[in-house]
């Protein structure tokens, strides 16, 4: 772990650009199970939380004349990942997803069990639950051993037998984000050398890289599946606007900012917010956890 990145960091809110806000609100409430926290009808912005009603997890903004591109056609979002507090919560989420009729992808990653869906604008979403950390294994290089095996669906559904789904529960957070980038070497240099994350996974024939802090299996996934040299789309395209890295204290953020200054990485200030861009141009908010 680097000396300048605190290993107790978490990920905060993710902001997406969408083409039809009303349609997306209905989807994220009924299908995903998030709760509408606030709606600014004039600005066409909505924020969402989970069962506790406090922590903002997702922000949606409707973009005029929005362009909806094909899958894996540019740098940006592959998926953002909603981490549930336990397997029982994942079981209930699965039941609701199945009842909605949406297409569901699934994978047992050994460190976690994950469900995959897409919103009406084809923004990728992972809903997952971790296995206990003591069950996570590393290989001889110290990288996490992961797979994409089939989930034992009967076992998972049995976890929630007899219980009622009431949306995503308290304790739900943004667990990680997975990005399309145009150059994996440059992406690694930014997230490892500039921000200070540890490389914890190298997958799919060296076309995907996972980085994390504090020994997590990954906070950020990076891949070149949209093509080597993929670039960000035009600003009016639906997809990722920004994601957020939350530092546990102002001191922890200042330590990171001092390092970024030494590295001559541009940092924009908007009030208490600090903004940086990765090697692909993806916007990252650096905040202090409340």
Q: What is the pLDDT along the chain (290 residues), one digit of tens a residue?
A: 789 999 999 999 999 999 999 999 999 999 999 999 999 999 999 999 998 788 999 999 999 999 888 777 899 999 999 999 999 999 999 999 999 999 999 999 999 999 999 999 999 999 999 999 999 999 999 999 999 999 999 999 999 999 999 999 999 999 999 999 999 999 999 999 999 999 999 987 889 999 999 999 999 999 999 999 999 999 999 999 999 999 999 999 999 999 999 999 999 999 889 999 999 999 999 999 98
Show the domains of the chain with their CATH numbers: 10-288 (3.10.180.10)
212's tokens: 């994390």
- pTM of the full structure: 0.97
């Amino acid at each position: 772990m680097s000396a300048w990145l605190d290993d107790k960091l978490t990920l905060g809110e993710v902001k997406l650009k969408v083409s039809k806000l009303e349609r997306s609100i209905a989807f994220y409430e009924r299908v995903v199970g998030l709760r509408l926290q606030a709606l600014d009808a004039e600005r066409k912005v909505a924020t969402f939380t989970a069962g506790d009603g406090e922590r903002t997890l997702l922000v949606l903004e409707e973009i005029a004349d929005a362009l909806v591109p094909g899958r894996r056609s540019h740098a940006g979002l592959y998926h953002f990942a909603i981490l549930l507090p336990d397997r029982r919560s994942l079981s209930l989420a699965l039941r609701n997803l199945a009842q909605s009729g949406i297409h569901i992808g699934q994978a047992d990653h050994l460190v976690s069990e994950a469900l995959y869906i897409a919103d009406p604008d084809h923004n990728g979403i992972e809903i997952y639950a971790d296995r206990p950390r003591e069950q996570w294994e590393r290989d001889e290089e110290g990288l996490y051993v992961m797979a994409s095996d089939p989930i034992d669906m009967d076992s998972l559904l049995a976890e929630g037998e007899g219980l009622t789904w009431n949306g995503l529960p308290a304790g739900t957070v943004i667990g990680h984000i997975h990005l399309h980038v145009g150059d994996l070497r440059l992406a690694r240099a930014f997230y490892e050398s500039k921000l200070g994350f540890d490389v914890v996974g190298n997958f799919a024939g060296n076309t995907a890289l996972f980085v994390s802090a504090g020994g997590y299996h990954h906070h950020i996934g990076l891949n070149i599946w949209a093509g080597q040299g993929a670039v960000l789309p035009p600003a009016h395209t639906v997809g990722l606007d920004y994601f957020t890295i939350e530092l546990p204290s102002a001191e922890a953020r200042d330590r990171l900012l001092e390092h970024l200054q030494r590295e001559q990485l541009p940092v924009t200030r908007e009030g208490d917010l600090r903004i940086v861009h990765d090697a692909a141009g993806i916007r990252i908010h650096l905040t202090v956890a409340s």
